[in-house]
Structures are given as C-alpha cells and as structure tokens.
Structure 1
Amino acid sequence: MPTQAEPDGPAIELRDATKRFRSSSGGVHTAVRNLDLTVRAGEFVAVVGPTGCGKSTTLSLVSGLEPPSAGEVLVHGRPVEGIPAGVGYMFQNDAVLPWRTVLDNVAAGPRYRGAAKRQAREQARDWVRRVGLGDFESYYPHQLSGGMRKRVALAQTLVNEPSILLMDEPFSALDVQTRGLMQDELLRLWAGDDPLGEGGGAAVVFVTHDLEEAVVLGDRVVVMTASPATVKAVFDVPLERPRDAEEIRLTPEFLEIYREVWESLREEVQIARERGAGNAA
C-alpha cells in the first residue's frame, strides 16, 4: 500500500497518556491512564483488552478526535493537535452513504481533498478493483452484502493512501467465514507489492475483541488492562508472512502464541467481569 513520505522515527507514540471524561453525574471517568505505546512505520499492531477498557479511546487520541488530559500523543514525531495528515480511520460501523454508488462512495475522499472529479473517480476505480468489487462499482449499498460493504469501507479508507491506518473492530459484525475473507483481504492490501508483507511503510493499529484475529493479523499484540486502560503486556507474533488467515490458525506456532497472550488477557477479562458483577449487585 503506497504511503506518504515521512521522517524517520516511530509513526505513533503515546507517552504517559491519560484521558478523563466528565460523566453525566458530574464525576470524572478515567478511560486510559499512563499509557505508553510506540508503533513503527510498517508495523501491524493489534490491541486487545476487556470490553469497555479504553481501546477505542486510544485510537481517538491518535486520530486527534480526543485530546489527552495528560501526557503526550505524537504522530510522526509531532504532537497531535487536531486530525493529523495521513491518518485513515475505519470504524466498526461503516460510513457508506446509501444514496451513492460504490464508485462515488470511494471517490468522495479524494474529491474532499481537492482532486478533480475525473481524477478522483480514476483513483476510486483502481481501489474498487483492488478490493474485488470491479463488477459492482455502479451498485448502491442496499444491493451489497455485509462483506461487500466492508470492502467498500476499506477502499474508502485506503484510497487516500494513509501512512497510519486505525481500525476499530471493523469486522466484528461479520459472520465467521466472511470475517476470515476480510482478514486475508486486509493483509493482502496492507502488504501491497511487498511479498514479505512489511506494509510498505504503513503503520496499522487494529482494535479487536477477537484474540484469534489479533494473532492472525498482528506483528505484535498489545494487551490492555481492565479500565482504566494501560498497557499490561506486549507480545511479538513470530508467524511468517504472508499469512493465510484460516490456515495459520491450525499451526502449532499459532496455538503457542495464542495461549501465551490469553494467559495475560484472561486475568484482565476476569477483573472486568468481577467489577461488572459488583456494580450490578
């Protein structure tokens, strides 16, 4: 995947980052606390943690949608003040506009950034083809399956050639088979023309509740603590690339790293459950 030229150094840095929100009752909720995380250019980092622990808030800090209450957030060595250039964000719910065709949905990004209509449509057509929807560019979203809509959303994000790709559980609503196909599609597009799958300089932060998905996709898996979130542990994933999302799950190497990460994650999931039970009582 082509990316913008960037200076040397980490793509993303969070240094002792904390985010607090004012609650409706007038109190203060701390979503993430003393968070330290570095993501290199070309690195695929998967983030897992208990439900509601602050994983999505971490993406909001990197994207500039939320400022930190304390600490620092840097993108390509510069403090985040507003939405940084070169950041693509793919949400759990897609932003496909129902009144636009597949092609026009994907062309909207380049048009917004000042590209002429013809140029924007040429860029969009290329990415629609890359995500396997070349025969569906004139279709409307209601004519597409859930998996096809996700392909449109992926093309919408990648057509802008981001140097940083933030993904917040983008495949969680899909059935198991379609999710596996989308995982393979993402890895293929992320790797670009590089057979080793180093990502061509694009850094990816992928939030998921699915530990299998995290291990299948990531170079590293970051385990977050129960709320308020901070980094508990970081695990390297020693699985060769390119990877087949379904076949890799059957290997001893996959099972070994999965068990190792789960031992760390399980403790935090149990803490979150106990807190939830206590609040319910």
Structure 2
Amino acid sequence: MTKPPPSQSPPSQPPPSEPGAGPVIELDGATKRFRSAGGVHTAVRDLHLSVGPGEFVALVGPTGCGKSTTLSLVSGLEPASEGRVLVHGREVDGIPDGVGYMFQNDAVMPWRTVLDNVAAGPRYRGASRRDARERARGWVARVGLTGFESYYPHQLSGGMRKRAALAQTLVNEPSVMLMDEPFSALDVQTRGLMQDELLRLWSGSGAAVVFVTHDLEEALVLADRVVVMTAGPATVKSVFAVPLDRPRDAEEIRLTGEFLDVYREVWDSLRDEVQITRERGAGDAA
C-alpha cells in the first residue's frame, strides 16, 4: 500500500474550523511558568492551537511535557503567563461556561450513589432535585448502568466507575470536553470498550474535545486530529489529520492499513521527543 502524503500542518497555522464557524478553543502564543524552589519552571511555551465545534483533538507527547498544563489553561484552572487562551471567543479568566473536565482519577464522590453523583452537576446549576435526578437517570441508562443507580462507587468495577464519571460529565451537555488520560488505569479490553462508548456518546453532540493520552493508538482511534507536543517545555511540534472514516470501531480500526500508515507517520514525529525525554532522565540520574 502506498503511504499517503504527510497530512501535518504547520503548528503556527492550525487548520480552520468548519466553514462559517469560529474555533471553540484558541491558544494564541500561550505560555505557562510556575515558580519553584529552583527558580521558574516553564511548563508550556508559545502554544498555537485551535479546536473547532464538534472536533475531537488528541494531545500526545512524552511524559511530563505539559499536556495536562495545556488542559488547565483551557479550563481556567491556571492562567496563562503570556499569550492568550480563548473559549467561545472570550479570553479565559476563570472557568468558562460549558466546559466539562474528566480527570485521570475519578471525580465521583464516594458517599453518593451513582444516580446522585450524576445528578450533582445539574443540581449545582440550579435544577430541582426531581429534574436533576430525571436527567441523571437518562444518562445512567445511556452509559449502560441501568440497575446500578443505587450503588456506591466502591461497589463498582473500574470500568463501571468510568462510565459513571462519563455520565457525570455529559449530563451537563458541555460544549467543550477536556479529558486527561481518563482511561489509562483500565485494562486493555475495558479501555477499548470505553473508547467505543465515548465515541458513541460524543457523536452528534457538537462538543469540542481535547483528549490527553500517552497511548498513540488511543489518540488515533478517537481523534480527528493528533497534536504532537515537544519534550518539555512543550510547544506544538506538528499536527496530523486522521483520515479514518466515522463511525469507528475501536478494535477493528486498529487492523486496517490506513490506521497503520497514519500511526507510522505520527510516531516518526513523536519518537524524537520521547528519546529527548529519556536522555534527559538518564542525564539527571547520572
């Protein structure tokens, strides 16, 4: 099979959003520095990236390069030290409306049942207890947890907890979903099921997704575009379109020639950054 021409675009000129629609997320020269005992640490520098409505973008890069910091800038949990971060065209100066955040560790509350965990978001937003529970019940069903509404988190398997956390995020109908390695702790089979579940629930929602992962296969299974970030301090090295048709089956698509072609292309870019991080680690340990 002939390898397709490179589909990467210059990091300083992100691909445009849908015709007539502005980007939902924009990072324009965003830099983040943290003060530490050793001075000032730059986590990310001069980030340029845009995400359009209904677009799924995955961030990949070596460990500790600043992928999670990028999500923190978009979510408003951390302010940019330089540059601009915009959500829906407004500069981020706090947590923007319409943003849902799914962390690596479950944010479910251990003293609440599955139903009450999912209903918590609508309640915080002013819904009545009855309405919040009705909405939550619908989402519990959509993630396949019917019959487990009265269970507590400690009574659930890891995959079931992730389903509850996904319902907890989606019940608020976010226009932006930020996901920080949400499936990394799951076994391979359960992770594949959750990837399919996420694609099914996101499809048609119109939500813009930024998904951080260390797993390049996961990034390619899920995303419309994969952003390769450099070894820290991170900046955007390259952006690759993922030319795989939707809907996608998380397991079946990995076996296609198209998947392997784009995997090799992205890995060629990512591999150098991983090697740089390894060499830095070896130098620090010496």
Q: Does 1:239 align with 2:248?
A: no
Question: Which of 141, 145, 152 in structure 2 is aligned with 1:140?
Answer: 152
Question: Which of 119, 122, 129 in structure 1 is aligned with 2:131?
Answer: 119
Question: Which of 183, 200, 220 in structure 2 is aligned with 1:188?
Answer: 200
Q: Distance in 1 between matches of 2:155 and 2:69?
A: 33
- After TM superposition, list the pairs within 5 Å mapping 1:36-75 onto structure 2: 36-75=48-87
Residue identity matched to 1:134: T
Q: Distance in 1 between matches of 2:248 and 2:168?
A: 24
Q: Which runs of 5+ in 1 are unaligned?
A: 1-6, 192-198
Partner of 2:27: 14
Question: Which of 140, 152, 159 in structure 1 is aligned with 2:164?
Answer: 152
SS in structure 2 opposite 1:132?
Answer: coil
SS in structure 2 opposite 1:134?
Answer: coil
Residue identity matched to 1:49: G
Cα deviation digits, residues 123-181 of structure 1 (max 9, x gap): 00000000000111111111100000000000000000000000000000000000000
Mapped contact 2:21–2:52 kept (Cα < 8 A): no
Residue identity matched to 2:256: T
Q: Distance in 1 between matches of 2:235 and 2:252?
A: 32
Residue identity matched to 1:211: L
Displacement, 1:200?
3.2
SS in structure 2 opposite 1:201?
Answer: coil
Residue identity matched to 1:208: T
Mapped contact 2:60–2:212 kept (Cα < 8 A): yes
Q: Distance in 1 between matches of 2:40 and 2:89?
A: 30
Residue identity matched to 2:29: D
Question: Which of 265, 268, 275 in structure 1 is aligned with 2:270?
Answer: 265
Q: Distance in 1 between matches of 2:144 and 2:61?
A: 32
Q: Distance in 2 between matches of 1:84 and 1:190?
A: 20
Partner of 2:253: 248
Q: Does 1:103 align with 2:115?
A: yes
Count the aligned residue pairs.
Answer: 267
Q: TM-score under structure 1 normalisation?
A: 0.94
- Aligned-residue sequence identity (percent) comes to 83
Displacement, 1:99?
1.2
Question: Which of 27, 37, 46 in structure 2 is aligned with 1:24?
Answer: 37
Partner of 2:225: 220
Residue identity matched to 1:106: V
Cα deviation digits, residues 173-222 of structure 1 (max 9, x gap): 0000000000000000001xxxxxxx432100000000000000000000
SS in structure 1 opposite 2:205?
Answer: helix
Q: TM-score under structure 2 normalisation?
A: 0.92
Mapped contact 2:61–2:67 kept (Cα < 8 A): yes
Cα deviation digits, residues 61-118 of structure 1 (max 9, x gap): 0000000000000001110010000000000001111111100000000001110000
Residue identity matched to 1:257: V
Residue identity matched to 1:14: L
Q: Distance in 1 between matches of 2:115 and 2:205?
A: 25
Q: Distance in 1 between matches of 2:150 and 2:53?
A: 35
Residue identity matched to 2:36: S
Q: Distance in 2 between matches of 1:102 and 1:268?
A: 41
Residue identity matched to 2:189: Q
Q: Distance in 1 between matches of 2:109 and 2:86?
A: 32
Please list every run of at least 4 consecutive aligned residues from structure 1 whose deviation after the TM superposition is greater than 2 angstroms: none
Displacement, 1:24?
2.5
